[in-house]
Amino acid sequence: MAEKVKALTKKQLDVLKQKLMEEKTSLVFNDQVNASNIELARPEGSDEVEQSITDYTNSHLLRFRNREVFYAKKIDKALKKFDMNEYGHCTDCGDWIRFERLLARPTADLCIVCKEDSERDESSSFSGRQSKSLGKVVDLTGLMA
């Protein structure tokens, strides 16, 4: 039996909330920079090679931006949990998530034990999808009962 994770102190929670807000501020700033880069990255009369480099850069920037938008949503979700006094709890088992883990990843919503479990689930459902794509249909209904 693993040792019970201690509840986060008010001070630790404050540190994490501060961190989330700082990360969000830096994301909004980056978002503006990316948007202006994308506009600037299409010079008039560029040749085809230049154009494909530009396209590559643009799609690269867009991908980067999408990831930031996704992360910004996670930050919002985490900040909302502060309002509901749910922050720091694993959404799966309800235990506290370790402070060290949250410090490294303030948007984490699973404790390390549940995170490892869900990664195992993901890899097993991935192999399920793979065998389906090879033409073998796996019937899971019997296993779900």
Q: Can you tell me which of 5, 75, 78, 90 binds Zn ion, judged by CB under 5 A?
A: 90
The answer to whether 116 contacts Zn ion (rule: CB under 5 A) is no
Contact between 117 and Zn ion by CB under 5 A: the answer reads: no
111 binds Zn ion per the rule CB under 5 A: yes
Q: Does 5 bind Zn ion (CB under 5 A)?
A: no
By CB under 5 A, is residue 93 in contact with Zn ion?
yes
Give the closest residue to 80 by CA, choosing from 35, 17, 139: 17
- Integer Cα distance of 14 and 88 in angstroms: 12
Query: Is 92 a residue that touches Zn ion (CB under 5 A)?
Result: yes
65 vs 90, beta carbon nearer Zn ion: 90
Closest CA to 82 of 26, 5, 16: 16
CA distance 62 to 80: 27
Cβ at position 30, least distance to Zn ion in Å: 31
CA atoms of 68 and 31, how far apart (whole Å): 8
In the complex, the residues that contact Zn ion under the rule CB under 5 A are 90, 92-93, 111, 114
